[in-house]
């Protein structure tokens, strides 16, 4: 289980003055519990006040700091990495665009504090408790997103095309959605929490895991079905995103 996720570091900062502006090499769940924050993820800008969750993750440049000069905010965060994160991404649980925790939010501060306490310990049971606490928070947020809003038609159509497409024409997808390609990328990033290309990549890896675990198809055939011309590139990308080569993953699932 320790190989599924590695907790890197985390903190509860009651009077936060952090000014972050970088490209992340790991994943972070961020939670503000008061104050005002100016956040930029790639080309998407957000003004946050009160209680909000958001994600930091590899890919876009991410910047956040107090939105009011000389003011602080209440900040909790936990950094992590590992194969389980890829499954969360494929399932749509992570990363998340900035999201209010909802009306029943009074216990999130307490839950995050418990998460930090267990994640920063080194014993096996604390590690497992931290994993379950983190996954529970992500599941609650995903459920709240599903219940709180209906996805706009352009996003539903775009998601379907990205999930099912092989040789994708992003210009055509944007045109059919009624946007320029630049606008589509910005709107998609804001709605989903990742770029269209990142979404396609993780969707393909989710399908690859399914085919490797449930069929005896050779890796070359799976790669071709997913739109890869080179099985070696597919294998390298699979390993980068899951932590193991396709053959190792298949043996672990079919053992």
Q: Which domain holds residue 109?
A: 6-148
- Tell me whether residue 242 is in a domain: yes
Same-domain pairing of 205 and 81: no
Same-domain pairing of 142 and 166: no
What's the CA gap between 139 and 146, in Å, rounded?
11
Choosing from 95, 127, 148, the residue where a domain stops is 148
99-108, 224-233, 236-245 — most confident range: 224-233
Structure tokens given for 94: 């992570």
Q: How many domains does the chain have?
A: 2
Q: Which of 85-89, 132-136, 249-253 has the least mean pLDDT? A: 249-253
The number of beta carbons lying within 10 Å of the beta carbon of residue 98 is 20
> Which pLDDT does position 65 carry in this prediction?
94
- Tell me whether residue 169 is in a domain: yes
> Which pLDDT does position 1 carry in this prediction?
47
Structure tokens given for 115: 């998460």
For residue range 212-228, list pLDDT tens digits in order.
887 889 999 999 988 88
167 against 157, higher pLDDT:
157
pLDDT band at 32 (very low <50, low <70, confident <90, very high): very high
Taking residues 198-203, what's their average pLDDT? 83
Global pTM value? 0.60
Alpha helices by DSSP H, 92-152: 108-119, 124-148
Choosing from 148, 170, 186, the residue where a domain stops is 148
DSSP designation for 152: P
Place of tokens 């570091």: 9
Same-domain pairing of 72 and 190: no
pLDDT at residue 199 above 50? yes
Given a contact cutoff of 8 angstroms between Cβ atoms, the answer to whether 47 and 38 are in contact is yes
Same-domain pairing of 159 and 135: no
Same-domain pairing of 38 and 132: yes
Tell me the DSSP string of 3-25.
TT-EEEEEEEEEEE---EEEEBS
pLDDT at residue 21 above 90? yes
Given a contact cutoff of 8 angstroms between Cβ atoms, the answer to whether 95 and 138 are in contact is no
DSSP designation for 122: -
């Amino acid at each position: 289980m320790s190989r599924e996720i590695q907790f890197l570091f985390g903190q509860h900062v009651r009077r936060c003055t952090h000014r972050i502006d970088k490209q992340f090499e790991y994943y972070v769940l961020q939670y503000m519990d008061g104050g005002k924050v100016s956040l930029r993820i790639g080309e998407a800008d957000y003004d946050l006040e009160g209680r909000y969750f958001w994600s930091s993750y590899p890919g876009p440049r991410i910047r956040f700091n107090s939105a009011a000069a000389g003011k602080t905010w209440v900040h909790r965060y936990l950094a992590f990495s590992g194969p389980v994160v890829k499954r969360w991404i494929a399932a749509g649980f992570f990363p998340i665009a900035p999201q209010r925790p909802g009306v029943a939010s009074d216990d999130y501060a307490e839950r995050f504090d418990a998460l930090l306490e267990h994640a920063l310990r080194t014993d096996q049971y604390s590690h497992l408790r931290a994993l379950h606490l983190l996954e529970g928070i992500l599941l609650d947020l995903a459920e709240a997103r599903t219940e709180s809003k209906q996805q706009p038609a352009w996003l539903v159509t775009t998601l379907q095309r990205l999930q099912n497409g092989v040789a994708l024409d992003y210009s055509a997808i944007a045109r059919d959605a009624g946007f320029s390609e630049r606008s589509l990328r910005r709107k998609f990033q804001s709605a989903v929490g990742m770029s269209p290309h990142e979404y396609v990549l993780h969707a393909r890896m989710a399908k690859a895991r399914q085919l490797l675990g449930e069929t005896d198809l050779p890796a070359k055939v799976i790669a071709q079905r997913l739109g890869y011309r080179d099985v070696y590139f597919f294998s390298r990308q699979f390993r980068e995103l899951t932590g193991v080569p396709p053959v190792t993953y298949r043996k672990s699932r079919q053992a």
